[in-house]
Amino acid sequence: MQTDSSFTFVLFGGTGDLSMRKILPALFEAHRAGGMLHDSGKIVAVARHAADRGEYLQWVNEHVKPHVSKNGVDEAAWTSFLARIEFVKIDLGNPEDFVHLRDAIQDLPGIRVFYLATGPSLFVPICHALASVGLNENARIVLEKPLGYDLKSSNAINDAVGEIFAEEQIYRIDHYLGKEPVQNLLALRFGNALFEPLWRREWVESIQITIAEELGVEARGDFYDNTGALRDMVQNHLLQLLSIVAMEPPHSMDSDSVRDEKLRVLRALKPIDPNEIGKVAVRGQYHAGGIRGTAVPGYATEAGVKPDSTTETFVALKVEIENWRWSGVPFFLRTGKRLADRVAEIVVNFRPVPHSALGASALRAGANRLVIRLQPNETIRLYCLAKQPGEGMNLASVHLDLAFDKFFREGQMEAYQRLLLDVIRGRLALFVRRDEQEAAWRWVEPILNEWKTSTRPPKPYAAGTWGPAAASAMLAQHGTCWLEEEN
């Protein structure tokens, strides 16, 4: 896909981990593909940890190259990509330094994109500093999560940014929405007569959404101990995926049509009764254990974590949507650190047939399901029952793979690459609108408040397992289990 959109992409936090691992590799892949980025487009990195452009490019060579092009780096493409990059040394705490940024980019062509790959405490000061030198016009601004600590702080940031940038200029990024299987989920539902009639309470028994990590808090102990899994993963990633799965068909794929339907789902979430939180929410914290044969410490002994911390590293929730399509269908959400595997997936369990002449196996739960795997490998599989070869009517589970690489020559586009191109082209559909964010915060706040004042500590689980037993017990009450437990 080609573009005639010239741009100046200003990357705040230009030496940070996110810039090195995700943003610059994504821009390089778009550059290497040819035609995706306008020839005159420039990338302007902003940081204070490099002395000049030469030192910054040396940093990029060292820290970005390992994350690009799995089959090796095309050196000619890499050299021409580096030619796009400029560098401006700025102390973000000093608004007067932004004059240097204005002088560096004022004659560069095209739309200006300001990507804030920084901590949220810098969002408002950066926006004010940009406005003070007139850089908030003809511009788009990208905000990384977390956007606030709760509804009040989120609104405070949005209010402040909204005084400087119009809502249509603000791109709140959630990279899970840019993943290829999530896009294909929309195509499956709204482009095929096969799935849409089944996508409702009459035919769906339950839905699971899991984002599991093998890693612990790594070097982010201080940040994570003040955040926790509910804020870090549920309020944004998991609820966004839920809204995509459960939304009604939009009248078109334009930005507001898609986001209007997601908002309706978020507003239809059954409110959490503080007295019922123990029945529908499980919080856990990992203790020492082993990941693939390697011993790892418990959360409370990680660097930057308070020894008596009650911060959750695991959350499992039972969620209900109070509308005509989904009433009575439980959605089970789960996320955690130091779990048994790194996986993100959506599991749609269809109801068994109402009567089987083929034996009890055709009536078992989970006989028919759709599994959308988001990571580590991106796949979509439809599971169903088929007769085993040989004598008798013996059924076995088989699956149909949507093997995109066999049908399309183009490789799958990474999530950040798709989203960054959408920012440059002015497409807002895959970015979170303010009212969506407010609805998500409003729904999780009763859980946040209950856990904040609770005298009960998080349930322990050993690193390298799938979390507390209570998470499995919650599903067992509904006659089901997590996917890996069935296998």
Burial of 447 (0-12, 13-18, 19+ CB in 10 A): buried
What is the C-alpha to C-alpha distance for residues 302 and 316, in angstroms, rounded to an integer? Answer: 23
State whether residue 183 is helix, strand or coil.
helix
Q: Which of 38, 63, 237, 355 is catalytic?
A: 237
In the chain, % of residues over pLDDT 90 = 73
H-assigned helices in 235-335: 239-246, 255-268, 277-280
Q: Which residues pair with 71 in a beta bridge?
A: none
- 179 is annotated as contributing to ligand binding: yes
- 107 is annotated as contributing to ligand binding: no
Dihedral (CA of 302, 304, 305, 308) sign: positive
- 48 is annotated as contributing to ligand binding: yes
Confidence of residue 403 (pLDDT cuts 50, 70, 90): low
Average pLDDT of the segment spanning 84-99: 93
What pLDDT does 218 receive? Answer: 87
Average pLDDT of the segment spanning 74-92: 94
- 213 is annotated as contributing to ligand binding: yes
Confidence of residue 361 (pLDDT cuts 50, 70, 90): low
- Which has more pLDDT, 185 or 116? 116
- 306 is annotated as contributing to ligand binding: no
Q: Is the pLDDT of residue 286 over 50?
A: yes
Q: Would you state the structure tokens that stand for residue 233, as one six-digit string?
A: 């993963």
List, in order, residues 6 or more apart from 349 with CB less than 8 Å away. Answer: 204, 205, 206, 207, 208, 365, 366, 368, 369, 480
What pLDDT does 399 receive? Answer: 83
Q: Is the pLDDT of residue 17 over 80?
A: yes
Question: What letter does residue 195 receive in the DSSP assignment?
Answer: T
Kindly report, residue by residue over 211-227, the tens digit of the pLDDT.
999 999 988 899 899 99
Average confidence score pLDDT of the chain: 91
| Phi, psi (rounded to 5 degrees) for 461 | -145, 145
Annotated catalytic residue 237: yes
CATH 3.40.50.720: does it fit domain 7-144?
A: yes
The ranges of the chain annotated as CATH 3.40.50.720 are 7-144
- 337 is annotated as contributing to ligand binding: yes
The ranges of the chain annotated as CATH 3.30.360.10 are 177-413+433-486
Which amino acid type is present at position 71? N
- Which has more pLDDT, 306 or 412? 306
Q: Are 277 and 447 in contact (CB under 8 A)?
A: yes
State whether residue 178 is helix, strand or coil.
helix
pTM of the shown model: 0.92
Question: What letter does residue 34 receive in the DSSP assignment?
Answer: S
| Phi, psi (rounded to 5 degrees) for 430 | -95, 15
Q: Are 101 and 136 in contact (CB under 8 A)?
A: no
Strand order in the sheet with 314-319: 395-401, 379-387, 369-375, 343-350, 204-212, 331-336, 314-319, 281-287, 459-462
What pLDDT does 1 receive? Answer: 41
Kindly report, residue by residue over 68-78, the tens digit of the pLDDT.
866 678 899 99
Q: Is the pLDDT of residue 201 over 50?
A: yes
Confidence of residue 2 (pLDDT cuts 50, 70, 90): very low
- Lowest-confidence segment of 2-16, 235-249, 458-472 by average pLDDT: 2-16
Pick the CATH number of 177-413+433-486 from 1.10.3720.10, 3.40.50.2000, 1.10.443.10, 3.30.360.10: 3.30.360.10
- Which has more pLDDT, 109 or 85? 85
